[in-house]
Amino acid sequence: MPRARLAALAILVAAATLNAAPQVEIKGKSALSLTKVKSRDDGVEVTGQLVDKLTNEGLPGQNVSVTISGVAESAMTQPDGTFRVVVHTEPGPVKVELGFRGTRAIDHADVLTVTTDPSKQQIELGITKVADEPQGARLRLAALGEEGPVDNLPIELAIAPQNTDAFHSIQSGLSGADTSLARKDAGGPGMFRLRGTYRGDDHDQGATKEVLIELASATTTTMSLSTTKLAYEDDLVARGTVMDDDGIPVPDATVTLTSGDRRLAQAATDKTGAYRFGVEASVLGQGALGIQVQADPGRSYVKPSRSEPVVVKVAAPAPVPVSYTIAAFLATGLAAAAFFVARKKPWLGFKKAAPPVEGEADDEVPTDMTDGGLVIAKPGIVSTLRRASDDGFSGLVRDTVRGRPIVDARITVTLGETVHELRSAADGTFAIEQLGTGDWRAEVSSHGHVTERFSVAVPHRGELRGVRVDLVPVRERVFQLYRRAAEPVLPEPRLWGIWSPRQIVDHVRAKRPTPALADLTDYVEEIYFSPRVAAEAALSGASERVDRAINERAARR
């Protein structure tokens, strides 16, 4: 190849390299914990665990460094993230340092340093949530020594929101006993990191245990109607609120106005937990029917609820007077005549044509197409005339963003003590037959997607045959939540949906955001752009960070 051609090829390669899109790598965050420091004949045995800070799942196949009194060893983590190593050192108290330097995909962990005496009895703590309580949860604290359980050891508890290190002390308890954890002490419902610490004494080593715990809250949905008797030509207005067990409003909860198995309207609660529906009586249909509102907060730790049903009676449509019909025909004829005259435009022959005016059409604002949920089938006309007799539930589970079927999605329907559970097939389809009569509670979930919950009324007229259940990817829902905090930073609100997610994140960061918004942006970038599939628990972390960013901006004003 001639030298001139080689030089031209080199210039093209260099230009392509300069113009290539930047490669962004999002690393997972890790954390170390120490489980045991025990004296042995051949040295000191050290065990611990390396976990993903976001999900608390173990990280396998990683190299952890263990240093005792200046003697360093390395250990490889097992499938559950645990590791074990024996270090040769002198008897007596030792200083233990655990370290993880990180990899290309996983960020380094903070160095963990503990000073202890391996000759003392090793204590291993246990923290278990026994049950949910109206005001929080009941915990069981345990301590295990070398010879079995040890009771009455004082264990100090501290709690922090998931994915943060903002721990604060809440209370103390004794090993071998139960203790109650109130939601108000934790800061409300949500996912939390709970840490138990035993300081140790002359006979026992100190110990620490950290677990992820969910503090759940039920909700109460109220509904008031403008009237329970309305004419066929009137509108029905429904208002109400959604509150949690602590009397705190539940914002952004999906509320659905239903009548039996019909979905009449859907909306979301505002920041005060309130909602409002307006429905035409003609949509409800003539006769008596039950109206109810279903609320789904969209968070696993805030439970769905329903309002009390109310019976509404819709009168028959009023007959139309003959004079109105004649007037309607006359109006239609006049409108048709005006239309044909307007098409011919005979007046244009009497005036000079004006030059065309250059105009610009309004930019179309993209809509957000990442709403999940149940899309029922449309039964045939003949089916709607028959009484409800179908007892099956079948359809397709689909990714609402990519439009692709979801394989191995879990479909669960529950009525009282009866539970049916199955998985979607390779083409995303599923089918459940011979369901008993009643209002079944359905739940559809898949790893990396937001769980959808809805009701299934059996029997039906065919509308639950061939349904579609759309699941929203967690990463997309996180970016939806991010909009509330990031959109005010954009030059124009309409740019949301026009700019790419990368452009939005980069623009927010370039504006030197407030600390809370900067933390939220880092969190969104890790969830949205990371090759790792985000768990549904990431939504709580995103929601809490969005609220902090919005409150911080309001305080600065």
pLDDT for 348 equals: 53
Reported as a single tens digit per residue, the pLDDT across 68-126 is: 878 888 889 998 889 988 887 777 777 888 888 888 878 888 888 887 777 777 788 88
- Dihedral angle, C-alpha 402, 403, 408, 414, nearest 10 °: 120
Predicted TM-score (pTM) of the model is: 0.45
CATH 2.60.40.10 positions along the chain are: 219-314
Burial 391-421 (b: 16+ CB within 10 A, else e): eebebbbbbbbeeebbeebbbbbebeeeebe
pLDDT for 291 equals 87
pLDDT digit string, tens, across residues 33-60: 887 788 777 778 888 888 887 777 888 9
Q: Which of 230, 221, 286 is nearest to 257 (CA)?
A: 221
pLDDT of residue 56: 74
The CATH code for residues 219-314 is 2.60.40.10
Q: What is the pLDDT of residue 172?
A: 84
Residue 18, pLDDT score: 43
Residues of the chain with pLDDT under 70: 1-28, 318-329, 335-370, 378-386
* H-type alpha helices, 174-246: 183-186
Residue 207 is inside which H or E element, if any? strand 207-215
Q: pLDDT tens digit string along 191-234?
A: 888 888 988 887 787 888 888 888 888 899 999 988 888 887 78
